[in-house]
Amino acid sequence: MSGGEHDFGAFVAARGTSLLRMAYLACGDQAEAEDVLQTALERTYRNLHRVRHDDGLEPYVRRVIINTAISRARRRAIIRIVPMHSPPETSARTSDADLRHVLMEALRTLPSRQRAVIVLRYWEDLSETQTAEVLGCAVGTVKSQASKATAKLRSVLGRDTVEGVIRNAHI
């Protein structure tokens, strides 16, 4: 095994799970997330000589995952219209697990790029500037996309519902 392959193997071992979780949030589906992650790693492996110009493997892989997820979501959108979900009926005693389900459903209803912004900002904890770099857009675009996405999440989830569930979860 060459030095490059060894480094790549160490990277996958160390960061594979974290990347899978990000892919899951970006895709909204575990099987697709696993597929996207493997695809992203294969492309990265084939392009290691290009990655050298970047800061490291992780930003590159992250970018491939996000781009692949967006690309797949757009392709799916071409062949079928994803129905917008109605705000879920949630009782005041909704469990934390239910709330996670509501969140995932809400994420799935977001346009792919808005979902990517949410994942990068909230999950990867990237700054607006870093998020803009990953998505190849202006910081202002990230701000507007994040604002729209957050508003939709609040709307679909229902701030009152969320806060009610949060209270219940902490009782």
Question: Least CB distance from residue 48 to another protein, whole Å?
Answer: 5
With residue 166 as reference, give the H or E element that holds it: helix 159-170
Q: Please select the residue that binds another protein; options are 54, 56, 155, 160, rule is CB under 8 A.
A: 54
Q: Please select the residue that binds another protein; options are 26, 134, 142, 156, rule is CB under 8 A.
A: 134
Q: Please select the residue that binds another protein; options are 29, 58, 103, 111, rule is CB under 8 A.
A: 103
Does residue 159 touch another protein according to CB under 8 A?
yes
Q: Please select the residue that binds another protein; options are 100, 147, 151, 155, rule is CB under 8 A.
A: 100
- Interaction pattern, residues 63-92, with another protein; x per rule: CB under 8 A: xx-xx---x---x-----------------
Amino acid at 70: I
* Contacts of residue 74, Cβ cutoff 8 Å, sequence gap at least 6: 112
Please, where are the H alpha helices in 28-158? 30-46, 48-51, 57-79, 96-109, 112-118, 128-135, 139-153
Beta-carbon count within 10 A of 160 CB: 10
